[in-house]
Structure 1
């Protein structure tokens, strides 16, 4: 019975994380498109958009996804930023490379989303917020 409860909790956490990611990605993509249309290089637009999405994701994650008594610790804050930098790096490299191959920057950004999402989720779930 406890195994079922743990499995259910894990699915609910993933669902909350997915919703948080969708909200953050929406803000990320709006900022990305604004920067891209403003003349920024694809890499700069990718980093700028990711930074906006990161701020949104942090707020949602600590309040609704990884509930913790007393809030996040300093180590968790640093871990969140480090995992975000990894995701940002993945995004920047993929957007730059795919854009250089001739894909539209927006399409390149969309293709980078699942890779970045799954990488960062795993780091946060099993590392940063493992005790949550």
Structure 2
């Protein structure tokens, strides 16, 4: 049997993790919206689709950073983010991009249609990048 104070601490820890994940999901959704809006605005007539997609993705990374340090990992930034944190955040974004591209490519080669392949990639990339950011980029060291 678990002692009441230990059970209460585990319960609070579990709730804190769920709240952090919910905030991260909301921040990710905001960044995706910013990415998509810029992509649509630029691809209309200003840039070819590939350039617009790149610009949108980079803008989404900036939005995600700004919101993550304020609303998700604010207790782990300690006032001001370090250069190493910013760099590792950008590298985690590139990791997510690589997982997305790789997953979509492999899933399509395996015969899946594009939409389900992208959905699998989004879940895989989101999960991996969240864990890297929580335990590496914004670790509570």
What range describes the TM-score normalised by the shorter chain of this pair? 0.7 to 0.9
TM-score by length of 1: 0.76
Which of 3, 7, 25 in structure 1 is aligned with 2:10?
3
Unpaired segments ≥5 residues, structure 2: 1-7
Higher Rg: 2
C-alpha separation between the residues in 1 aligned to 2:55 and 2:119? 15
Does the 8 Å contact 1:87/1:116 carry over to 2?
Answer: yes
The list of structure 1 runs, each at least 4 consecutive aligned residues, that deviate by more than 4 angstroms after superposition, is 34-38, 92-101, 107-111
Range moving further from structure 2, 58-67 or 2-11: 2-11
User: Structure 1: any 5+ residue segments left out of the alignment?
Assistant: none
Contact 1:17/1:61 (<8 A) preserved:
yes
Cα deviation digits, residues 19-48 of structure 1 (max 9, x gap): 00000011112233445555324xx55433
Give the TM-score, by structure 2 length.
Answer: 0.71
RMSD between aligned residues? 3.1
Residues paired across the two proteins, number: 128
Find out whether 1:84 has 2:93 as its counterpart. Answer: yes
